[in-house]
Amino acid sequence: MTCAEMDMLVHPYLDGEIVAEERVLFDKHVAGCARCRGLLGHEATFRQHLRARLRPRAEAVVPPALRRRISEALDRADAGGEGPVRPFWRVIAPGAGALLTAAAVAFFFGIGALKSRVDDAGLVEQAIAGHMKNLPVEVGGTDDDISVWMRGKVAVPVRPPNLAAVRLHIQRTTPRLIGARISHLASRDAGQIVYRVGNSQVTVYVFDPSGWQMSAAAQRIIDGREVFFAERAGYSVAFYRDRGIGYALASDLDEGDLMNLVEAALRE
């Protein structure tokens, strides 16, 4: 494991969200790298201090006018798919504690990083890193088998896009579904679906993009959706948002073939 990979996994590691084999590699790297030990200690200490500051206090009271303004701001954000707290929880648990209130206040006033900018410098590197690891899938079978297995494991529904009808120019073949596993993007759980295309592999990540502002230098409009594209070290990544769900495709296929796969996914 490299320092760059460790940087991407430090938050999932602290959350206990990485699989056993990744944790072993992580611990081995940290044991021999003073730089990464320092980073891990810094992040762990920061979390402890943050939790202490956000711990519910009996005397904390939010004025009704401010609560109303916060609720209106969150509703507007939800309408655009960027709210930090799901409307369901605001309805059933309006007094769910200081953490919920702190998140709402921080979002309303624009402080903190609840709405983070996810660009090709972050998401692309992580998508490629996960793709290159080529870890074994945890579930195989049909699209329905994968969808059922993913329920409750990722914050959004995970269903493999139908890519079987796509014929790519270079490979002269169609993608074949291999299986899926749980992965992470920017410390969020994501479904990682693997396809085989000739001698190449295509990784499709499915994740909750709420609160993220995606961007990249290259951008296209496909079927009314913004699709961002980037290349790194011989790999291509396309990422986009569709009906409130985030998708990222990573492969060594060229831009034309990768965009054909995106178009097929968006036609469903």
Distance CA 68, CA 62 (A): 10
pLDDT tens by residue, the chain, 268 residues: 788 777 777 777 887 777 777 888 888 998 999 888 888 888 888 777 766 665 555 445 666 777 777 777 777 666 665 555 455 444 444 444 445 555 554 444 444 444 455 554 577 888 888 899 888 999 999 999 999 999 999 999 999 988 766 666 555 677 889 999 999 887 789 999 999 888 889 999 999 988 887 777 788 888 888 999 988 888 999 999 998 899 999 999 888 888 888 888 887 6
| pTM for this predicted structure | 0.58
Distance CA 258, CA 59 (A): 55
Which architecture does CATH list for 117-266?
Answer: 2-Layer Sandwich (3.30)
CA distances for 219 relative to 30, 31, 119, 229, 230, angstroms: 37, 41, 12, 6, 9
CB 169 within 8 A of CB 191: no
| Residue boundaries of the structural domains of the chain | 3-54, 64-114, 117-266
Q: Which two tokens stand for residue 229?
A: 């594209």
Q: Is 171 exposed, middle or buried (0-12, 13-18, 19+ CB in 10 A)?
A: middle
- Calculate the CA dihedral of residues 151, 157, 158, 162 and round it to 10 degrees: 130
